[in-house]
């Protein structure tokens, strides 16, 4: 443990002279030994492996079986068509995965990290990946630490470790400190610096002790790599649907095989009928259509500042009911802000003052003391240095103090730097010949060195009552999650001994500051709550601080809803899982706790999202059903572990994504219901015809044309339907809810039976028009083809127009707007046009074994084709009336 060793012991162990650093030769040797200072990326899958992974699907297995049968029977054209379908689906899946991978690689290359090191006795800047154990890092404000280091020199050094520990206040470092407790928490190892953390103020030197995967961040990355990623609800549903349809297809084929043998049909005909039924039972284009619908949703989300890494994650966002969010940066701004001030005149809300001319002189003096005892800078919205000091400078701007003039007319001639023992910083200022000492720091320490207090511009002796009044105010501020800081001063005759500077001071006042919530977050949390989604805060902050923020945001209402990491450890895994729903705020937690929280939530049947930006969020991002990382402030580790990245770091974007996800799922459901309904109609057409001893009304090639072309266009168009504006007023779907829940299954059965019955009726009419019956044993081939043409055309027209009925479960197409989905209108027109091409061009007509219908047949085709839509609209009228009566 490097934090338990002295500086000399560390230098000796690593064989380094801190004044010279490594030589170039030795650095190269160590680079070869320890490897590059980078985290191991997830191993990429090659194109061929990605391609074959797309074939691991029950629907594909059945189609491959159909290919084998058709080749065996010599129907090579059908075999080629089916194989093309399989290849197209697989290629589409590969393209989507490759695109997603490239998008993330581009994000990770946005920032190229550099480090300032001492080598060969000279300071030089090198790529951080070339850092090796033993390198001497030169540390100054604003620089990102490139590896884990043991500090060997620190001067007022503060490091922002919020991305690692969750603490929004920078950690005060001390190189000479030696810590003997081996269980010292990460955030309390004050003589160490960690990879990817940022220096906010001060300067120092550090010797690299760990690089790459051996760093603290590397250990977190290891946790990520060992977490098994479960399938999303959409993937589970599609897999289940595929298996169900595959089993149905097999059962039907076996049943037809038995029936065909009993009927004495020839072997070749029996096999081709089985292939036809398999093709009819399986929606070949389902996987491709779902991918297209999801891709459209991904594109829309990218325009709304959300990058999706995995297509199925879009749907999962729509079904989640828990959002776990880190506090710092995600819910709050990660920017300390002074909200209130206190002196003997009472409490003053700084945020409400603005540049009011009535600001009291006492308050102005307090702010002046803070500004003149600070080392930070803040100009044109950009601050450097300690966030607390930046907040004090902004407070000066808020109440109308001209900082530039103040700092130009007041010269600092001496100072006592801040340290963790005194918890104070003091400066001696020359104010045009008048000398004043200004001190800021922790109230408990400051009040003990004050002998007077300021009241209405006058210095009076401080009393115990005064002290108690200030201490009570500090406690009140702390209960509101405010960090307190006091200010004091004293006039002096000239330059004095530093030991005399922090004596006999005059207490001016006290301020409270907070890392404020993002302005848009509260409304977003309320919107999510109305949609049945619970927001949880998970943070490394103290219990009271976390609860105060949660109370402001509407996440929690009472302190009992808050639990700490230490309290979590007191429970067994089972006990914690049983109690998890009682809590809304989780404070003082480690990365391991966050993963434990997510797993406990999932064990209770929740679909969980974790949002965050820091390295400490990465394991829980990976463990959640949906991990959401911040694009601007997020670390590369967090982005890699996530399923979605918010480009604008806006918590509200995730609520927008949830809304989009719900609408995308609804659109996918419309497409699936449409395809299954159409396929059921096809199966019933063939199955019933064969049961009653008829020839197959449709052949395999015709069915493939319908499934891949005519069905696919409306299915894709339904997937691009406009969103339901009331979708966020509904509760989340249960994670295991079937596609056929809430009456959708009945819709499929009714629609399928109706389309099948009308198709058989058209098939019968084709025989009847030519003077034959389908039960006749001797029927000319052209009559059979004519009857199949009628069945083919009616089936297609029925399906095309029926797609309009599926836009909404209850609303009429006229109330929705017949032309509000222009894609669907275009799909119907295109489908009809393609049918005319197939029927009108002799070569194609002959390839599909079709005949040209006459005028009477066209009238029958249109009349029968509109019937399912008309009947469905009539049924919706009854449903709406029943709902109205139920509401009364």
Give the CA radius of gyration of the chain: 36
Buried b / exposed e across 683-717, counting CB within 10 Å, b at 16+? bbbbbbbbeeebbbbbbbbbbbbbbbbbbbbbbbb
Beta bridge partners of 539: none
**Span of 238-252, 390-404, 759-773 with lowest mean pLDDT:** 238-252
The whole-number pLDDT of residue 108 equals: 46
Residue 489 is encoded by which pair of tokens? Answer: 């001063």
Q: Which helix (DSSP H) or strand (DSSP E) does residue 278 occupy?
A: helix 267-281
Alpha-carbon span 483 to 510, nearest angstrom = 10
Question: Mean pLDDT throughout 536-560?
Answer: 88
Residue 778 is encoded by which pair of tokens? Answer: 């001797």
Higher pLDDT: 504 or 87? It is 504
Sign of the Cα torsion 354, 355, 361, 365 reads positive
Residues 6 or more apart in contact with residue 727 via CB below 8 angstroms = 659, 662, 663, 666
> 314: pLDDT confidence band, cut at 50, 70 and 90?
confident
pLDDT above 60: residue 105: no
pLDDT above 90: residue 860: yes
Residue 14 is encoded by which pair of tokens? Answer: 């690593």
Residue among 78, 160, 326, 375 flagged as catalytic: 326
The whole-number pLDDT of residue 637 equals: 61
User: What are the φ and ψ backbone dihedral angles of 588, each rounded to 5 degrees?
Assistant: 55, 50
- Give the model confidence (pLDDT) of 498-545 as tens digits: 889 999 999 999 999 988 888 888 999 999 999 999 999 988 777 888
Q: Quick one: 557 exposed, middle or buried, by C-beta within 10 A (0-12, 13-18, 19+)? A: exposed
Q: Where are the alpha helices (DSSP H) in 455-590?
A: 464-479, 498-501, 521-530, 543-553, 565-569, 573-579
Using alpha carbons, list the distances in angstroms from residue 395 to 375, 489, 566: 15, 19, 36
Alpha-carbon span 384 to 398, nearest angstrom = 18
Contact call for residues 149 and 209 (beta carbons, < 8 A):
yes
Alpha-carbon span 535 to 806, nearest angstrom = 34
Q: Which helix (DSSP H) or strand (DSSP E) does residue 428 occupy?
A: strand 424-431
Contact call for residues 108 and 636 (beta carbons, < 8 A):
yes
Beta bridge partners of 510: 342, 486
Please work out, in degrees rounded to the nearest 5, the angle formed at the alpha carbon of residue 411 by the alpha carbons of 408 and 412: 135
> 357: pLDDT confidence band, cut at 50, 70 and 90?
very low
**Span of 54-68, 407-421, 717-731 with lowest mean pLDDT:** 54-68
Residue 656 is encoded by which pair of tokens? Answer: 């927008």
Q: Which of 253, 702, 331 is nearest to 551 (CA)?
A: 331
The whole-number pLDDT of residue 111 equals: 38
Alpha-carbon span 177 to 420, nearest angstrom = 11
> 358: pLDDT confidence band, cut at 50, 70 and 90?
low
User: Mean of the per-residue pLDDT values for the chain?
Assistant: 84
State in Å, rounded, how far the first CA of the chain is from the last one: 72
> 365: pLDDT confidence band, cut at 50, 70 and 90?
very high
Alpha-carbon span 340 to 477, nearest angstrom = 9
Question: Mean pLDDT throughout 566-595?
Answer: 90
Q: Which of 142, 175, 104, 130 is nearest to 31 (CA)?
A: 130
Residue 500 is encoded by which pair of tokens? Answer: 């005399």
Residue 35 is encoded by which pair of tokens? Answer: 């490897």
- Give the model confidence (pLDDT) of 783-795 as tens digits: 999 999 999 999 9
What is the DSSP code (8-state) at residue 493?
S
DSSP per-residue letters across 869-888: HHHHHHHHHHHHHHHHHHH-
Alpha-carbon span 570 to 805, nearest angstrom = 56
Work out the percent of the chain whose per-residue pLDDT is above 90. 34
326 has catalytic annotation = yes
The whole-number pLDDT of residue 231 equals: 60
Higher pLDDT: 672 or 257? It is 672
pLDDT above 60: residue 230: no
Q: Which of 252, 277, 268, 256 is nearest to 75 (CA)?
A: 268
Read off the pTM. 0.68
pLDDT above 50: residue 138: yes
Question: Mean pLDDT throughout 422-444?
Answer: 92
Count the neighbouring beta carbons within 10 Å of the beta carbon of residue 395. 24
Q: Which helix (DSSP H) or strand (DSSP E) does residue 609 occupy?
A: strand 608-612
The whole-number pLDDT of residue 711 equals: 79
Alpha-carbon span 515 to 349, nearest angstrom = 16
Q: Where are the alpha helices (DSSP H) in 806-854?
A: 813-816, 822-840, 842-847
Alpha-carbon span 87 to 81, nearest angstrom = 10
Using alpha carbons, list the distances in angstroms from residue 125 to 131, 143, 198, 806: 10, 12, 17, 63
Question: Mean pLDDT throughout 286-305?
Answer: 75
Alpha-carbon span 683 to 244, nearest angstrom = 15
pLDDT above 50: residue 62: yes
- Give the model confidence (pLDDT) of 632-667 as tens digits: 777 666 776 788 888 887 788 888 889 888 888 888
User: What are the φ and ψ backbone dihedral angles of 45, each rounded to 5 degrees?
Assistant: -90, 140
């Amino acid at each position: 443990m490097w934090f338990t060793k002295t500086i000399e012991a560390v230098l000796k162990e690593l064989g380094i002279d801190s004044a010279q650093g490594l030589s170039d030769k030795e650095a190269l040797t160590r680079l070869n030994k320890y490897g590059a200072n980078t985290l191991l990326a997830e191993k990429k899958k090659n194109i061929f492996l990605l391609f074959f992974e797309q074939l691991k699907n029950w629907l594909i297995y059945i189609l491959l079986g159909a290919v084998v049968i058709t080749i065996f029977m010599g129907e090579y054209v059908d075999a080629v068509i089916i194989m093309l379908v399989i290849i197209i689906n697989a290629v589409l899946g590969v393209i989507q995965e490759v695109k997603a991978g490239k998008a993330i690689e581009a994000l990770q290359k946005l920032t190229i990290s550099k480090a300032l090191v001492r080598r060969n006795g000279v300071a030089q800047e090198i790529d951080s990946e070339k850092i090796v154990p033993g390198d001497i890092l030169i540390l100054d404000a604003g620089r990102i630490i490139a590896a884990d280091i043991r500090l060997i020199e620190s001067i007022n050094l503060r490091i922002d470790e919020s991305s690692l520990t969750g603490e929004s206040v920078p950690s005060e470092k001390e190189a000479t400190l030696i810590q003997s407790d081996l269980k010292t928490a990460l955030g309390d190892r004050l003589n160490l610096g960690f990879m990817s953390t940022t220096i906010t103020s001060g300067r120092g030197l550090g010797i690299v002790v760990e690089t790459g995967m051996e760093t603290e961040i590397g250990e977190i990355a290891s946790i990520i790599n060992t977490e098994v990623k479960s399938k999303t609800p959409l993937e589970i549903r599609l897999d289940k649907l595929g298996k169900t349809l595959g089993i149905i297809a097999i059962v039907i084929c076996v049943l037809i095989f038995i029936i065909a043998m009993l009927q004495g049909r020839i072997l070749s005909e029996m096999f081709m009928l089985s292939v036809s039924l398999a093709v009819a039972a399986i929606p070949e284009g389902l996987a491709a259509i779902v991918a297209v619908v999801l891709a459209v949703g991904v594109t829309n989300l990218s325009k709304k500042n959300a990058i999706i890494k995995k297509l199925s994650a879009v749907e999962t966002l729509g079904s989640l009911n828990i959002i776990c969010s880190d506090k710092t940066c995600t819910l709050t701004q990660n920017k300390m802000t002074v909200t209130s001030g206190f002196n003997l005149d009472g409490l003053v809300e700084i945020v409400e003052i603005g540049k009011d001319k009535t600001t009291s002189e006492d308050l102005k003096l307090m702010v002046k003391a803070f500004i003149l005892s600070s080392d930070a800078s803040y100009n044109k919205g950009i601050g450097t240095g300690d966030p607390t000091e930046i907040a004090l400078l902004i407070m000066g701007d808020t109440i109308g103090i001209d900082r530039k003039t103040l700092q130009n007319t007041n010269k600092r001639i001496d100072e006592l730097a801040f340290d963790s023992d005194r918890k104070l910083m003091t400066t001696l200022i020359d104010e045009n010949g008048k000398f004043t000492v200004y001190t800021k720091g922790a109230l408990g320490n400051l009040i003990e060195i004050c002998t007077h207090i300021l009241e209405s511009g006058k210095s009076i002796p401080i009393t115990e009552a005064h002290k108690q009044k200030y201490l009570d105010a500090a406690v009140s501020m702390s209960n509101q999650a405010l960090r307190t800081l006091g200010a004091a001063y004293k006039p002096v005759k000239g330059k004095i001994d530093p030991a005399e500077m922090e004596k006999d001071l005059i207490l001016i006042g006290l301020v409270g500051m907070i890392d404020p919530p993002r302005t848009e977050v509260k409304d977003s949390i309320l919107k999510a709550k109305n949609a049945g989604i619970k927001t949880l805060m998970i943070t490394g902050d103290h219990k009271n601080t976390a609860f105060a923020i949660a109370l402001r945001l509407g996440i929690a209402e009472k302190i009992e809803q808050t639990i700490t990491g230490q309290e979590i450890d007191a429970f067994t895994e089972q006990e914690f899982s049983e109690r998890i729903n009682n809590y809304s705020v989780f404070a003082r937690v480690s990365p391991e706790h966050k993963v434990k929280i997510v797993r406990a939530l999932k064990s209770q049947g929740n679909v969980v999202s974790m949002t965050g930006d820091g390295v400490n969020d990465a394991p829980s991002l990976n463990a959640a059903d949906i991990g959401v990382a911040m694009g601007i402030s997020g670390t590369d580790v967090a982005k890699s572990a996530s399923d979605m990245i918010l480009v604008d770091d806006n918590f509200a974007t995730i609520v927008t994504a949830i809304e989009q996800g719900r609408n995308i799922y609804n659109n996918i459901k419309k497409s699936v219901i449409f395809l299954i309904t159409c396929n059921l109609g096809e199966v019933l057409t063939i199955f019933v015809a064969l049961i009653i001893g008829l020839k197959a009304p449709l052949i395999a090639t015709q069915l493939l044309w319908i499934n891949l072309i005519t069905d696919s266009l409306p299915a894709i168009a339904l997937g691009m339907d406009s969103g339901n504006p009331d979708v966020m007023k509904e509760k989340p779907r249960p994670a295991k809810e079937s596609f056929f829940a809430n009456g959708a299954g009945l819709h499929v059965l009714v629609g399928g039976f109706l389309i099948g019955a009308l198709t058989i009726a058209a098939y019968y009419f084709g025989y009847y028009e030519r003077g034959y019956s389908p039960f006749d044993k001797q029927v000319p081939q052209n009559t059979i083809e004519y009857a199949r043409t009628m069945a083919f055309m009616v089936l297609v027209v029925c399906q095309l127009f029926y797609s309009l009925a599926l836009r909404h479960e209850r609303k009429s197409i006229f109330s929705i707007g017949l032309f509000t989905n222009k894609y669907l209108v275009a799909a119907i027109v295109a489908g009809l046009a393609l049918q005319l091409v197939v029927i009108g061009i002799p070569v194609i007509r002959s390839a599909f074994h079709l005949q040209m219908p006459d005028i009477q047949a066209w009238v029958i085709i249109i009349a029968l084709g509109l019937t399912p839509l008309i009947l469905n609209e009539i049924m919706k009228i009854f449903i709406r009336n029943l709902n109205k009566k139920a509401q009364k």
